[in-house]
Structure 1
Amino acid sequence: MTGLAATLVVFALAAFLFAGYRVAAHRGVSWPQGLALLKLRALFRLELPDEDRDGDQPAPARATIHIYSRQSGLDVAVLWSLLDRSCLHFLTPADRTSASLFAFRLLARTADLDAADALEKALANGRSVTVPVPPDIEPSAETLERYAALAESARRHGALIRAWHVRGSVHSIWSARPSAEAPRRLLPRFRLGCSSALDPTDPAPPANGAADPQDRDRIHDLLAEARFKSNDLDKTLFSAFRDSADRYGSAGPVLEDALGGKLTYKRIFVGARALGKRFSGMSDPGEALGVLLPNANAVIVTLMAIQSAGRVAAMLNYTAGPAAIVSALSTARVRTVLASRAFIEKAGLETVVSAIEKAGVSIVWLEDLRESIGPVEKLLALINWRRPLSRTEPGDPAVILFTSGSEGTPKGVVLSHRNIHANAAQAEARIDISVRDRLFNVLPVFHSFGLTGGAILPLLYGVRLFFYPSPLHYRIIPAVAREVQPSIMFGTDTFLAGYARTAKETDFASLRLIVAGAEAVRAETRRIYAERFGARILEGFGMTEAAPVAAVNSASHSRDGTVGRLLPAMALRLEPVEGIDEGGRLFVSGPNVMLGYMLAGEPGVLKPLTGGWHDSGDIVTVDGDSFIAIRGRAKRFAKIAGEMISLGAVEMMVQNLWPEDIHAAVAVEDKRKGERIVLVTTRMPALREELREYSRRFGATELMVPGEIINVPEIPVLGSGKTDYVSAQKIADEWVSSHRAGRKTGASD
């Protein structure tokens, strides 16, 4: 028996050595590198980038600086197993003395991180190098300078630059992060992300040997791209959440709501499995189920149950009114709506329920479903919580959201599992979040910002989430925030300004970051949160069709007056617009851009995008540093005396004059000039002469001064927090119509 065991050991060792030789020959690396790659695959289930998995990528003809965000002491070993055997690896002081890297240091070519001469010499000799940088998503000023220096070295020697990211290694016992930020696992799964190659000489650098000011941003973008690509997007939302449960499940409750309920990942999945079984019995595979629920724990359990059952969640805007909800149900061919009886009674939505039932759509009360689930079903759900009930694909529809209708008839936006997962991964590659954070979400999940940013993003990356049911409770929310102590909050300018008016200085003291979107953030709102609460507002930009985030400012890359820079893996193009000299109409593409629309005229029919590009309908400018500034909606330009005037720019001018009030600019017909601008404002009084005088100092043209000013107690807003321009337009039209009628009556008298 001993002899047999020894024979088996020798045979296994020989097989391992031979397999290492085959891998090394296939990938063009040394035998020890091939053996190391085999071990990494066996121990950490290392997944390589898609384009590199088969090993048929030719080695770069030029020397390359391989930059990687050092997540752990194993990252350099992963890169060594893959890259050219002559590559020089620069090591941090910790890696220079690490016992786990002893064999690596014997076999690889290494140098101290601070040995600048070694870098220059290696590149001059045509050898590639690997260089670690700090693991922070938001680089410090010192790190940005390091990026610039590396770009200069690459430019001098004609080298390329490529970024890498080893996802999962931060959770190993060799992690570079404290355990409070990255929960440890003995053998976590590794997945390698690789960016495209950057040639620092293209475009040509500035003349006279000056440094290129964009070097820092270009390398920062490479690292964000690598981080994004290290995510496995070939997963359904159910599978992605299950992976998060494995990764962060030991951290305790991750979801909490205003009712006091607390759920761990496992409890979410057990409930989803039990409910999903019932959803499967009342619907067909791929069918859309309406979700009429507030921000509460139940909405996440219901969403996961729908995904487990292989159905599609049609998120219904309960603030839109009965007619709009019935229209949405028809557009998505929804036969069943999932709702909470307690929520309907508390929110006073009985008329909505009545309209839904009159339309022939069934309502299933979650309270009744939970009561009907017996002990055996609960036990089976506990046993099988990791397994979805139905098989779906990442490219299948997962969610249908409905456009806000701020400027027209709402449409159904169909988002796949991959769309939503990709957008969360894109945001995580740009915004620094960790399990230390707690996100306070008041934005409703029927809105794409509230769903992806406020619910899916935090739960995919281990951030504790607190749900509050309504963003309109301006007096209550600051007090709740004082108790919850969140570090991150999402919101819109309208909501944030409302909270600030009632908040005490200590209410938002715990916040380190506020991400605002859906509408422009006013300078006054930024000032208040910075001075009173010490919190910085980062403005982003998106649309439901992009799941929703397309661009965002960050702590290290921010520019007031812009919505930030495009997210990784996205592309944009600008098309010229007649009458507008600067900027153009924005089109976007990327893995987060929707599958297509469902329209009321053809219920249930998916209208896919043409060529993968979505027309945002926004007029934007993009500066030399790639920051995007919104000039306005294409539909929100007035044509006055042959000139195109941005209504958004008018609002910005008025906001600068009267920062403590809310304003909406719309256009009405004018027989003499084509159109004229009407300002709907909460300013009381709002004097046109004061505005005209300020416009001269502001540098505005006479055409930008509103022809009429209408005072209102409040500006109408949608449930998402955006200005309701349809209602504002009606106010203006009715006011102008009544005043015209009054003038005619006066003239006849």
Structure 2
Amino acid sequence: MVLASAIVLGFVAAWMLASGVLMHGRGIRFRQALLYLPLKLIYRIEDRALIQARDAEAPVIYVISHQSRLEPALMLSLLPDQTLHILDDASAQAFWLEPWRELGRTIAFNAEHVFVSRRLVRVLRGKGRLAVYLPDTVEPDVKAFRLFRAVARIAMQADARIVPIFVSGARHLPFSLAPAERAPRHWFQRLRISALAPMTMAELLQRAGYSQTTTANALFDRFAEARLAGTDLDRGVFGAMVDAARRYGPSQPIVEDVVSGALSYRKLLVGARVLGSRFEAMSKQGEAVGILLPNANGVVLAMLGLISAGRVAAMINYTAGAANVASAVKTAAITTIVSSRAFVQKADLGDVVAAAEQAGAKIVWLEELRDSVTTQEKLTAALQWSRPLAPQDASKPAVILFTSGSEGTPKAVVLSHRNLVANAMQAEARISISPKDKLFNVLPVFHSFGLTGGTILPLLTGIRLFLYPSPLHYKIIPDVARKIRPTIMFGTDTFLAAYARTAEDGDFSSLRFVVAGAEPVRAETRRVWRSRFNAEIIEGFGLTEAAPVVAVNTATHGRDGTVGRLLPGMRMRLEEVEGVAEGGQLWLTGPNLMMGYMTSDRPGELQPLDGWHDTGDIVSVDREGFITIKGRAKRFAKIAGEMVSLGAVEMLVQALWPEQRHAAVAVPDKRRGERIVLVTTAGNADAEALRLHGKQAGATELMVPHDIIKVHEIPVLGSGKTDYVAARRLALDQLGLAA
């Protein structure tokens, strides 16, 4: 009895002592510390971000992402005791939460009636503090978005500061509010609390980066940034992959191709470690090693193997032609390229391989590496699958990609681990995805959209990934889609239009949505996919330098004809362009912006990005924050002193001949400086009909091409973008202006 009493007393004393330490370390009351301590120990909570949140000057509104039943207990334990917590009915009545409710002031609210604004404004004006729990949704419906409007209105009226709070990992707790199939449960899930700096609504509106936005959108964007802040970007690509494996299950099938079948997280990381050990032996730390492989399991294994070994994966665009591949090898100072004999033979890439070798690269064949792997290597890798071969530094380069070259010579874009993970998580904070989804990626991994969005994003978020080797198999891809039943697909307008022409009505019926980028989505393509497959095309915008996604529409925040709204964590500014009345040239900054370029005149040397990046795109932004691409700065023709968007010309022509493809290019003109030439697949294209259509559409005469060149196919790059260099060369040849 004495021993038992001593044990109990010792336990109580230890609890009291630990609570005292916690009280002083976090600045909370002793009662709060007593109830917070068990949560802190069980979930190993990283909570230092709450210190700044507690010290925020009143009036202040804490906006908390309500992912599980635990957030109210955490916030009642950690926020100042004078904070008024606005709880949902379940939290206000839960019997187990009663001890925590005694720590502060709480009221229940009915979501149907939103908030009693005047009473809350009075509380805040009296130097009060509110804690509001908003639904955990990245795509709020109309009902949920009313809450953002209400909070923004209250904050404006009371001139209160906003502090968004996100508890990373909470949605995977046993008492998560998300369905189990969307968020696998873990009893002892580690939690990380992130809280952003206090800002008033006026400050949030000012930092939007464009002339106008709504208060609700400004708050919604700030709230999404808190979700992004919950990601540990210092873990790097490999560390984030291991975290995903543990979160969704090491045995969970995650990637699949048409040849070798499915791989689980564990098998993927075991294979990557085996290959990585071989890459270590043939290259130096930090060296760029080329990957010349199609969309298949092997390309993911090779990339992760190089990253695990501390090497940089340089993704070779084998569709760019022998000359561009040789240029890429020299620009990135690549001395070793990983490829596959079977792939090179099947894709007839002998000239590309020869050009790479002539440029100084040695080819290492995956088949030979695979055949030489010993049983001991496999066992060692199986035991240490979660450990990288070399120390990982998220600030160091992870991959090198090459710009498309649609307007000139390709450049090497160097992306860090932090760039890639940040962009994947920015997309996750904007688009509603979950492990219930299956992503069908036909875009090549050497293209930034196919790499980050089509490969890294699903691997980090537990989405089953199906890789297909070529987007050009227009007749086969619809058949594959019918068999594998994907819910998400990535593509470009060129590819999507081609698939629709060969598909049967049920082939893409499993899709929830299609994410399209790289080029504008035509209204005809959008109409066909809606009417035939009941699939919404979500248009986005990106560039290789941004890893690549910059903006995207969503199901609840979408607007046809735009590329959506800026991703969380990014900032933009518009600079005036001579001759452009509406909008300006887009400059960007954010955690996903590249480390810098490598160029052919300074091979292997990183030229760091200095602050903001000039995208070269002319855009306009409406008051809701939706971005409309007017065209590339290089894709404006200067005719008789006026700037004319070649992209706008293409849209004008597309409205007249919607089922055909068109490219507008500018060529020299002695009298007016430049003139516009239309390259088109429309066999019935006629200059007079185009002139009349332009007049009816209200287009200026300068926008109407007088020269029309008819072709069977518009030149395209491997990424699906129109090859404007080739199209302009074709126009110059046809018009006798090449000299």
Relative to the length of structure 1, the TM-score reads 0.94
- SS of residue paired to 2:394: coil
- 1:698 equivalenced with 2:697 (yes/no): yes
Contact 1:598 1:605 (C-alpha < 8 Å) held by counterparts = yes
Aligned residue runs from structure 1 range 322-333, under 5 A: 322-333=322-333
The structure 1 residue matched to 2:108, chosen from 112, 117, 125, is 112
- SS of residue paired to 1:96: helix
Contact 2:54 2:79 (C-alpha < 8 Å) held by counterparts = no
Which residue does 1:747 correspond to in 2? none
Which residue does 2:644 correspond to in 1? 645
Q: 1:367/1:218 Cα in 2 relative to 1: closer, same or farther (>3 Å)?
A: same
Which residue does 2:573 correspond to in 1? 573
**How high is the sequence identity, in percent, across the aligned residues?**
53
Displacement after TM superposition at 1:226 (Å): 1.0
1:310-339 deviations in Å (ceiling 9; x for gaps): 000000001011111111111111111101
- Paired residue type of 2:328: A
Displacement after TM superposition at 1:14 (Å): 2.4
- 1:63 equivalenced with 2:59 (yes/no): yes
- SS of residue paired to 1:323: helix
- Paired residue type of 1:371: D
Which residue does 1:174 correspond to in 2? 175
- Paired residue type of 1:373: V
Distance 1:202 1:418 in 2: 27
- SS of residue paired to 1:234: helix
Which residue does 2:161 correspond to in 1? 160
Which residue does 2:497 correspond to in 1? 497
1:189-230 deviations in Å (ceiling 9; x for gaps): 11223244342356899xxxxxx9813212221221111111
Which residue does 1:715 correspond to in 2? 714
Contact 1:193 1:228 (C-alpha < 8 Å) held by counterparts = no
- 1:601 equivalenced with 2:601 (yes/no): yes
Displacement after TM superposition at 1:469 (Å): 0.6
1:118-150 deviations in Å (ceiling 9; x for gaps): 645643543222222222211010111222122
- Paired residue type of 2:150: A
Which residue does 1:25 correspond to in 2? 24
1:428-448 deviations in Å (ceiling 9; x for gaps): 000000010111100000000
Aligned residue runs from structure 1 range 724-743, under 5 A: 724-737=723-736
- SS of residue paired to 1:556: coil
Aligned residue runs from structure 1 range 230-249, under 5 A: 230-249=230-249
Which residue does 1:386 correspond to in 2? 386
Which residue does 2:556 correspond to in 1? 556
Which residue does 1:136 correspond to in 2? 137
Distance 1:157 1:597 in 2: 47
Distance 2:132 2:514 in 1: 33
- SS of residue paired to 2:98: helix
Q: 1:370/1:152 Cα in 2 relative to 1: closer, same or farther (>3 Å)?
A: same
Distance 1:402 1:275 in 2: 24
- 1:339 equivalenced with 2:339 (yes/no): yes
- 1:530 equivalenced with 2:527 (yes/no): no
- SS of residue paired to 1:439: strand
Distance 1:447 1:35 in 2: 53
Which residue does 2:254 correspond to in 1? 254
Displacement after TM superposition at 1:58 (Å): 6.6
Distance 1:201 1:622 in 2: 19
Q: 1:303/1:4 Cα in 2 relative to 1: closer, same or farther (>3 Å)?
A: farther
Aligned residue runs from structure 1 range 76-155, under 5 A: 76-114=72-110, 116-117=115-116, 119=120, 122-123=123-124, 125-155=126-156
Which residue does 2:201 correspond to in 1? 200
- 1:621 equivalenced with 2:617 (yes/no): no
Which residue does 1:208 correspond to in 2? none
Displacement after TM superposition at 1:6 (Å): 5.9
Which residue does 1:43 correspond to in 2? 42
* Bigger shift: residues 426-435 or 346-355: 346-355
Displacement after TM superposition at 1:716 (Å): 0.6
Displacement after TM superposition at 1:162 (Å): 2.7
Displacement after TM superposition at 1:365 (Å): 0.9
- SS of residue paired to 1:651: helix
Q: How many residues align?
A: 729
Which residue does 1:185 correspond to in 2? 186
Distance 1:735 1:35 in 2: 82
- SS of residue paired to 1:81: helix
Which residue does 2:507 correspond to in 1? 507
Q: 1:649/1:602 Cα in 2 relative to 1: closer, same or farther (>3 Å)?
A: same
Q: 1:333/1:3 Cα in 2 relative to 1: closer, same or farther (>3 Å)?
A: farther
Distance 2:93 2:371 in 1: 60
1:435-465 deviations in Å (ceiling 9; x for gaps): 1011110000000000000000011011111
Distance 2:135 2:382 in 1: 41
Contact 2:204 2:219 (C-alpha < 8 Å) held by counterparts = no
Unaligned runs of 5+ in 1: 206-211, 742-749
Distance 1:13 1:330 in 2: 68
1:592-618 deviations in Å (ceiling 9; x for gaps): 0000001111111000012x2111111
Distance 1:101 1:203 in 2: 34
Relative to the length of structure 2, the TM-score reads 0.95
Q: 1:646/1:213 Cα in 2 relative to 1: closer, same or farther (>3 Å)?
A: closer
Contact 1:113 1:131 (C-alpha < 8 Å) held by counterparts = no
Q: 1:657/1:251 Cα in 2 relative to 1: closer, same or farther (>3 Å)?
A: farther
- Paired residue type of 1:188: Q
Displacement after TM superposition at 1:182 (Å): 0.6
Aligned residue runs from structure 1 range 159-558, under 5 A: 159-200=160-201, 214-249=214-249, 252-558=252-558
Contact 1:27 1:56 (C-alpha < 8 Å) held by counterparts = no
Displacement after TM superposition at 1:186 (Å): 1.0
1:139-180 deviations in Å (ceiling 9; x for gaps): 010111222122222333332333222121111101101111
Displacement after TM superposition at 1:532 (Å): 1.1
Unaligned runs of 5+ in 2: 207-211
- Paired residue type of 2:46: E
Distance 1:3 1:388 in 2: 51
Displacement after TM superposition at 1:518 (Å): 0.6
Distance 1:147 1:175 in 2: 22
Distance 2:156 2:220 in 1: 17
1:409-439 deviations in Å (ceiling 9; x for gaps): 1110000000000000111000000010111
